[in-house]
A and B are shown apart, each in its own frame.
Chain A
Amino acid sequence: MAFLELTGIQKRFGEVAAVQNFDLAAEAGEFVSFLGPSGCGKTTTLRMIAGFERPTSGKIVVKGVDITNRAPNQRNVGMVFQSYALFPNMTVADNVGFGLKVRKQPKDQIRKRVGELLELIHLPDKAGRYPWQLSGGQQQRVALARALAIEPQVLLLDEPLSALDAKIRVSLRNEIRAIQRQLGITTVYVTHDQEEALSLSDRIVVMSEGRIEQTGTPFEIYNFPSTGFVARFVGTLNVVSAKVLDPTAGTLETAGQPIRAAGPISGGHSGDSVTVALRPEIISLGAREGMNQLSGVVDDVTFLGSIVRVRIRFSDGSGAISFDTFNNPHLAVPDRGTAVTISFPPEACLVLDRAEIAAAAAPEDPDAA
């Protein structure tokens, strides 16, 4: 039996179904992320685990105990809020020790535990400070320590880094992961930031419109998306139109040039129009033996720091493809207007089915979903 189990969870707000058919089994010590755009139901699911929302139907079980109808203060589940939610009238030490105080723990025990946790979050000298005297990153670390103080069975983090600037976000997420590994606590992390989810998680649950789109390791989610939504939402994607030449051989034609998929195109017929998705980082500049090759003209070059993103346009006007190349000052990046050939392996061609075509072709606006 899994440590944390959500079975058949549904949540409706009036006529609106916020979460539907949600099933999850997380093992003890596992770090699971809920990833999806705003309004996809990830925070609602987290709040149901915390007890702030009651599921319309379904069951939540922690360590074999059904907690579905327990009050939030009877669950022993720690939560870190997006807004930190530190009590402004209390010092850092009082905030961290609050959960122990309301549980009527002896004062010296509280002091000892608070000291340990402040060491853990590298803020041992800030015990007497008030929240408004701390930076955003420090406040979030205190919020983490406060959630851990009660030794919760499950740790819940609701977009804890979204209010912080980019550099602090990266360092703090590494710190969160290190602490989680050190304590071995089962953790559910909500984010709409794919990079955060990919870098932190043992497993990712990608959600859209209240449903689970795919559950898998970061490697599986990124490299083998099972739906068009996942392919589009996780990472950057090129979407090009293609025509099926031979479905059994997996051959297609795009921009008037033949390409090959890794295997047969299931359900496809010769002459069918399909959509092919390609990740930019898997495409390389120049012709390569045994790989798909497409020729076009460089349309745009975007410098992104460590990488350079190049967009080529096909001469028949059928579309464009972007690809990434490492920024190497000793290697020239093609100029705009240069005719180039790009290569990519057949395995990189993700042929989307018709239902997924519409999703993949939709503009990339996470907030709109």
Chain B
Amino acid sequence: MTNAALPLSAPGTPSARPVRRRIGWGWLGIVPFLLFAFLFLIAPTAYLVVGSFQNAKGALTLENFQQLFSPAIIATYGNSIEISLVTALAGGIFGFLLAYAVISGGLPGILRSALMTFSGVASNFAGVPLALAFIFTLGRVGLFTIFMRTVLGVDLYAGDFSLYTKLGLEIVYLYFQFPLMILIIAPAIDGLKKDWREAAENMGASSFQYWRHVALPILMPSLLGTMILLFGNSFGAQATAYQLTGGFIDIVTIAISRQMRGDVLYDPNLGYALAMGMVVIMAISITAYSLLQRRSERWLK
């Protein structure tokens, strides 16, 4: 074979030249995002990670993390976890039932678009404006409170109820929690195929059996995943609680701001450690959400 030893392509031909990868212009488009992420996410996180392992003089220490296990701080985390759990569960269940009724309950289609529009707005309505809105409505001299007292003769504050307690804060949080649930769970409910219900009925299943064996297990990853997201959403809220209670209710985000602002207390390194605790809880929440969401997507595609 005379050509056996010939090179596949002669030197100097275009195919023999080393291929030089060119950097595409597409990368330029994401530079602002990368810059933003570095300045406002990566750098501050790195700063608080380092700061959480330092004392006031900048020396390396684990003391900040040891303080996290003090009774006061454990109680603070306990409050945050309790409020987050309650609002995630209540908002999750209420949001799911509402979304299911509107999407699969045979109600007029216009209700669905109205609810989705409201949810899009309400899920982003948080912080100082939300707290003020509730104070003006359900506060001691709020519009609704006065209306109930003067027109219907019902004094909302006659019993134990107060907007400025843990229960009040949970009610306020629910205002953005259940719309968020509706927005995230709606695609999962849409993914429930009509054929599954019909197939179940065809094999003799009652409505209860369909929900127990088919619909709920299929929706469960989405339900749990979304509730975890609601938990994280509530856990990270600060402005609403601060504006509503003036820091009276001790939750982690308020505890962090107290350590940073230094009106009474000032220990930014402890604040960093508290924030690290939050980062860990949020990371667990997001990981669990992602895992459940992946499972749900596989079922509902």
Contact = CB atoms under 8 A, between A and B. Distances in A.
B218 A87 contact: yes
Choose among B198, B199, B201, B214 the residue with the greatest number of A CB atoms under 10 Å from its CB. B199
Contacts of B195: 81, 83, 85
Interface in A66-82: 71-74, 76-79, 81
A98 B201 contact: no
Contacts of B200: 87, 98, 102
Interface string B57-100: 00000000000000000000000000000000000000000000
B200 to A, nearest CB: 7
Nearest to A86: B199
Contact of A77 (B193, B202, B205): B202
Nearest to A150: B203
Given A101-B213, A102-B209, A81 B204 contact: no
B196 interface: yes
13 contacts: A50-B202, A73-B201, A73-B203, A73-B206, A83-B195, A87-B196, A88-B300, A89-B214, A102-B200, A102-B203, A102-B209, A103-B204, A132-B299
Contact of A102 (B198, B213, B218, B298): B213
A52 interface: yes
A73 B204 contact: yes
A52 B205 contact: no
A89 B199 contact: no
A79 B194 CA distance: 14
Interface in B173-222: 193, 195-196, 198-206, 209, 213-214, 217-218
Contacts of A232: none
Contacts of A150: 203-204
A37 interface: no
B215 to A, nearest CB: 9
Nearest to A94: B213
A146 interface: yes
A102 B299 contact: no
A103 B200 CA distance: 12
Interface residues of A, number: 29
A52 B209 CA distance: 18
Contacts of A102: 200, 203-206, 209, 213
B204 A99 contact: yes
Contact of B217 (A72, A89, A103): A89
Given A85-B193, A87-B218, A98 B203 contact: yes
Contacts of A72: 198, 201-202
Nearest to B207: A73
A149 B202 CA distance: 12
A99 B214 CA distance: 12
B205 A98 contact: yes
Given A72-B198, A79-B199, A85-B195, 4 more contacts: A51-B201, A73-B202, A79-B198, A85-B198
Contacts of A73: 201-206
B198 A146 contact: no
A98 B213 contact: yes
B195 to A, nearest CB: 4
A136 to B, nearest CB: 14
Contacts of B199: 79, 81, 85-87, 146
Choose among B201, B202, B214 the residue with the greatest number of A CB atoms under 10 Å from its CB. B202
B203 A87 contact: no
A98 B213 CA distance: 9
A133 to B, nearest CB: 10
Contacts of B202: 50, 72-73, 77-79, 147
Given A85-B193, A87-B196, A87-B218, A146 B299 contact: no
A50 B194 CA distance: 14
B198 A81 contact: yes
Interface string B260-301: 000000000000000000000000000000000000001110
A103 B214 CA distance: 15
A54 B218 CA distance: 29
Nearest to A101: B213
A132 B209 CA distance: 23
Contacts of A98: 200, 203, 205, 213
B94 to A, nearest CB: 24
A265 B204 CA distance: 55
Contacts of A71: 201
State the 7 A-B residue pairs at the shortest beta-carbon distance, nearest first. A99-B203, A85-B195, A88-B299, A85-B199, A72-B201, A89-B217, A102-B205
Interface in B243-262: none
Choose among A50, A81, A83, A102 the residue with the greatest number of B CB atoms under 10 Å from its CB. A102
B221 to A, nearest CB: 9
Interface string A88-105: 111000000011011100
Interface string B211-243: 001100110000000000000000000000000
B198 A52 contact: yes
Nearest to B216: A89
A52 B197 CA distance: 11
A132 B198 contact: no
Nearest to B298: A132
A150 B204 CA distance: 9
A83 B193 contact: yes
A149 B205 CA distance: 14
Contact of B218 (A52, A79, A88): A88
